[in-house]
Amino acid sequence: MCYEIVERAKKHKDQVAVHSEGEAWKYGLIVNRAQHFATLLLGQKEDLLEARVAFMVNPGVDYVSVQWAIWIAGGIAVPLCLTYPPRSLDYVIQDTEADLIVASDEYLPLLEPLRQGKRPFRLFSISEMMQSRMFPEKSLPVLDLSRKAMILYTSGTTNLPKGVVTTHANIKAQIEMLQKAWKWERKDRTLCVLPLHHVHGIINVVCCSLWAGAICMFLPRFEPEEVIDLLEIPSLSVFMAVPTIYYKLITYIEGLSDRRAVEIKGNLLKKRLMVSGSAALPVSVMEKWYNISGHWLLERYGMTEIGMAISNPYRGKRKPGFVGFPLPTVDIRLVAENGKETADEPGEIQVKGPAVFQEYWGKKEATEESFTEDGWFKTGDTAVLLDGYYKILGRTSIDILKSGGYKISAIEIEEVLRQHEGVDDCSVVGVPNEEWGEIVGAAIILKNSIDMVAFQKWLAERLPKYKIPRSFRFLRELPRNAMGKVTKKDLLPLFS
Ligand code: MCA
Ligand code: AMP
């Protein structure tokens, strides 16, 4: 048996699956292409046996074909962020020990030099794969659902990001709970504007729509005007995004004439479902979006390690500032500071269920530490249950930030800043920001004066755009407690 999403696709082979690069691509074509790519990835082998296959492929038909190819060949799919600088790409490639990499042609110049690194890998370009002779279809391996399927990188309280390993069974559970809760149907059509190296884009948008036999339209990058134009397509029924995207869409629509805004509202009203997640949705954004579109956004809570866990109802009251109820198959408990389960006090959200990840790649200790002895995953998020609805209160660690829906480790950025010759010491905090949720703020003690333009360039070579500090404070000393530890709560007011 091949991976289930591909088996399902075969049942509606003549139906359109993907809209990308201005063209419509049918399920049957994508299945054939995935089988062809799988044959090439396998070469002489019969099963990739969980070999890591990293892929840096543009959103659209190529992305889906490669992801399916890796799965049906028995590999582990490792999607790479398209905007990472070479150092960040190298980290993921080395950490997963990827032997095979597939890339859209434009990324080859970026990846080619990395082959000279500690671990050489085979690099396939999409155009080379497309041109290569069609082998007689190889028999593909029979996959057990317990096999590892994907590794996604997520920032934690430690320095470098950790690879979150999910099995085919985990992914199936993550998809099926959303099919049920959000009523995905074959007649749906969705628009993907999210990056495809995170659960929100990969699972909630792309896999869920294709699992249902629906159509997934891809925009290569988020552009408010284009998104609004596409949302006006009458058959486009489902849209999912992070709060920053809704904020940007609101700003764009507020700049249009009243007549155009009324026209847009008329079209948005016809959508079946609009979802927000990945970061707290400010009540002000929810209310403004209601005025603009007539939709109360469905806010839900999730995490790379667990997929989605809590959601406002599809039908029923969506409470501003709350994330709702546990999704099907998800068990949730809150654990207070005294270590006891609580029903009426704030506590850490702990999660159990078939969607919860298997392990952090190559990090046995970190995996063990993230679960309780009786198998609950500790999210590090604090919530409270009020009138049956969960409300997220924040994170237990001040070192985890959320900016534009991206999770960022303050420690990772501090480690990078300290490598700069002009930096003596530093501390990084998340500065509240209406548009981005938080922006990265860096308090720095300088050894000697630095040229800010050169400094920004230096940072851009080492960090993806969204991790680069946006606000700087240059201090003589950092606030510390009696133990000598920087008190980040005292730093924050300096950024206001
Ligand atoms: C970019 N800029 C920023 C940031 N990012 N400024 C402050 N903070 C940031 N984080 C600046 C750029 O430097 C640039 O400035 C300008 O904004 C536009 O940059 P660009 O990269 O073009 O930004 P964008 O395309 O407008 O991106 C905004 C975005 C993006 C679309 C909201 O951040 C995004 O796709 N976020 C989604 C992330 C996501 O999917 N997370 C899900 C993970 P200048 O013009 O001055 O150069 S969480 C998850 O999966 C869990 C399971 C869950 O619950 O969902
Ligand atoms: P990531 O590791 O990138 O998957 O991010 C998961 C984190 O995003 C969670 O641990 C939460 O801190 C945050 N998050 C996701 N959805 C929400 C939400 N609706 N409200 C508040 N925080 C959220």
> What's 19's domain CATH number?
3.40.50.980
> What pLDDT, in 10s, does the model give residues 419-477?
999 999 999 999 999 999 999 999 999 998 899 999 999 999 999 999 999 999 999 99
Quick one: three-class SS letters along 294-359?
CCCCEEEEEECCCEEEEECCCCCCCCCCCCEEECCCCEEEEECCCCCEECCCCEEEEEECCCCCCE
Out of 143, 172, 189, pick the residue that ends a domain.
143
250: Cβ below 6 Å to ligand 1?
A: no
Per-residue pLDDT at 276 exceeds 60: yes
Asked if residue 110 belongs to a domain, the reply is yes
SS3 85: coil
CA 343: distance to chain centroid? 30
Choice from 191, 199, 208, 242 to test ligand 1 binding pocket (greatest atom count within 8 A of CB) = 242
As to burial, measured by CB atoms within 10 angstroms (0-12 exposed, 13-18 middle, 19+ buried), residue 196 is buried
The residue nearest atom 13 of ligand 2, judged by CA position, is 279
Asked if residue 192 belongs to a domain, the reply is no
- Cα separation values, 459 from 32, 463, 466, Å: 43, 6, 11
Q: In this structure, what DSSP letter does residue 191 have?
A: E
CA distance 436 to 470: 11
278: Cβ below 6 Å to ligand 1?
A: yes
Output the CA 437–ligand 2 centroid distance in Å: 11
Q: Where residue 240 falls among pLDDT bands split at 50, 70, 90? A: very high
What average pLDDT does range 153-173 have in this prediction?
Answer: 92
Considering every ligand atom, which ligand is closest to the CA of 281? 2
CA distance 372 to 347: 15
Of 397, 423, 428, 396, whose CA–CA distance to 411 is shortest? 428
Containing domain of residue 405, as a range? 400-495
* Confidence (pLDDT) at 377: 98
Torsion of CA 370, 359, 199, 435, to 10 degrees: 30
Asked if residue 21 belongs to a domain, the reply is yes
SS3 249: helix
Asked if residue 28 belongs to a domain, the reply is yes
- Cα separation values, 96 from 79, 107, 114, 445, Å: 11, 19, 14, 35
Asked if residue 50 belongs to a domain, the reply is yes
Out of 108, 143, 178, pick the residue that ends a domain.
143
Nearest-atom index, ligand 1, CA of 301: 54
As to burial, measured by CB atoms within 10 angstroms (0-12 exposed, 13-18 middle, 19+ buried), residue 102 is buried
Domains held by the chain: number = 2
Output the CA 47–ligand 2 centroid distance in Å: 35
Choice from 407, 408, 409 to test ligand 2 binding pocket (greatest atom count within 8 A of CB) = 407
Asked if residue 456 belongs to a domain, the reply is yes
Give the DSSP H or E segment for 195: none
CATH number at residue 463: 3.30.300.30
Q: What is the rounded average pLDDT for all residues in the chain?
A: 95
* Confidence (pLDDT) at 134: 64
Out of 94, 121, 143, pick the residue that ends a domain.
143
301: Cβ below 6 Å to ligand 2?
A: yes
> What pLDDT, in 10s, does the model give residues 100-153?
999 999 999 999 999 987 788 999 999 999 999 766 667 899 999 999 999 999
Rounded to two decimals, the pTM is 0.97
> What pLDDT, in 10s, does the model give residues 341-363?
999 899 999 999 999 999 999 99
Output the CA 388–ligand 1 centroid distance in Å: 33
> What pLDDT, in 10s, does the model give residues 304-327?
999 999 999 999 999 999 999 999
Per-residue pLDDT at 287 exceeds 50: yes
Output the CA 387–ligand 2 centroid distance in Å: 22
251: Cβ below 6 Å to ligand 1?
A: no
Tokens matching residue 175: 């998809």
Output the CA 303–ligand 2 centroid distance in Å: 5
* Confidence (pLDDT) at 201: 98
* Confidence (pLDDT) at 468: 97
Percent of the chain with pLDDT over 70: 99
Per-residue pLDDT at 7 exceeds 60: yes
* Confidence (pLDDT) at 1: 44
Asked if residue 130 belongs to a domain, the reply is yes
CA distance 14 to 17: 9
Asked if residue 203 belongs to a domain, the reply is no
The string of DSSP codes covering 251-302 is HHHHTS-HHHHHHHHHHHTT-SEEEE-SS---HHHHHHHHHHHS---EEEEE
Degrees, nearest 5: CA angle 158-75-219: 75
As to burial, measured by CB atoms within 10 angstroms (0-12 exposed, 13-18 middle, 19+ buried), residue 296 is middle
Q: Which range scores top for mean pLDDT: 19-23, 56-60, 482-486?
A: 56-60
Give the DSSP H or E segment for 126: helix 126-131
